[in-house]
Each structure stands twice: as C-alpha cells, then as structure tokens.
C-alpha cells in the first residue's frame, strides 16, 4: 500500500478529524448523537477516501467521492454553526483548514485527470 502519512492533505484532514471529535464532545445531547455523529462520520469517510485514493492507480473516481464528502462535511459544519452549537471562532478555524484541503484536493484531482488522459 502506498504511503499516505506524508501527504499534506491527509495530515490536514486527520487534524480536522481529531478536532471534530473534540468539538462534538461539547455538543448538547440533542445534537451530539445526530449532527455530531454525522460530522464525525463524514470527516472519517473523507479520511478513508484520501487513503484509498492514494493507493489506487486511477484516483479520479475516488477523489471525486472525496470532493463530495468534503462538501457534505462543510454543509453539516455550517449547520452546526448556524444552530449556535459550534462557536464562530472554531467554525472559522475549520473553514480555513477546509479551504486548504479543498485546494489540495482540486490539485490532486486535476493531476489525476491529466495523468489518466482525460480532458479537463
């Protein structure tokens, strides 16, 4: 299996995964087991997809799935902020990191499409 620990995108998403687990501990009971669980599952899916993409020869389909998981995570994160269960400062911190991840994912996806001979 290809090494993934060295990938900046993996490191960033791993950091977000740890932080979301810490943040959801603060959620009230009503949201901890619904929205909090959804956030943890979605970011874990994203982490899994990055590991999977790194080990595949044709990464494009998996990276597209990762892009979708990232957007789902963003939506649920925004919902947590709008419901005032995730502080604005923490929300902004997550968004800055997610923007980095999004750029890295887009670059990796573009590279994968070019490598696969697909027209952008």
User: In whole angstroms, what is the distance from residue 101 CA to residue 95 CA?
Assistant: 10
Can you give the pTM of this predicted structure?
0.90
How does the average pLDDT of the chain come out, rounded?
A: 93
Query: Which pLDDT does position 4 carry in this prediction?
Result: 81
2: pLDDT confidence band, cut at 50, 70 and 90? low
Output the DSSP codes for the chain.
Answer: ----TT-HHHHHHHHHHHHHHHHHTTS-HHHHTTHHHHHHHHHHHHHHHHHHHHH-SS-HHHHHHHHHHHHHHHHHHHHHHHTTSS-HHHHHHHHHHHHHHHHHHHHHHHHHHHHTT---
Asked if the model's pLDDT at residue 69 lies above 50, the reply is yes
**Radius of gyration of the chain from Cα atoms?**
15
**Domain residues of the chain, as ranges?**
8-115
Q: Which CATH number fits domain 8-115: 1.10.1040.10, 1.20.1440.60, 3.30.43.10, 1.10.760.10?
A: 1.20.1440.60
């Amino acid at each position: 299996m290809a090494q993934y620990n060295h990938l900046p995108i993996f490191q960033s998403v791993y950091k977000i995964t740890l932080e979301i687990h810490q943040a959801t501990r603060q959620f009230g009971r009503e949201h901890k087991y619904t929205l909090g669980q959804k956030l943890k599952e979605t970011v874990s899916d994203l982490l899994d997809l990055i590991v999977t993409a790194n080990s595949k020869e044709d990464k494009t389909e998996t990276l597209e799935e990762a892009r979708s998981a990232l957007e789902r995570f963003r939506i649920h994160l925004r919902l947590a902020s709008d419901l005032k269960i995730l502080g604005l400062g923490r929300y902004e911190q997550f968004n800055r990191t997610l923007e980095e991840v999004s750029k890295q994912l887009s670059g990796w996806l573009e590279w994968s499409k070019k490598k696969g001979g697909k027209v952008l």
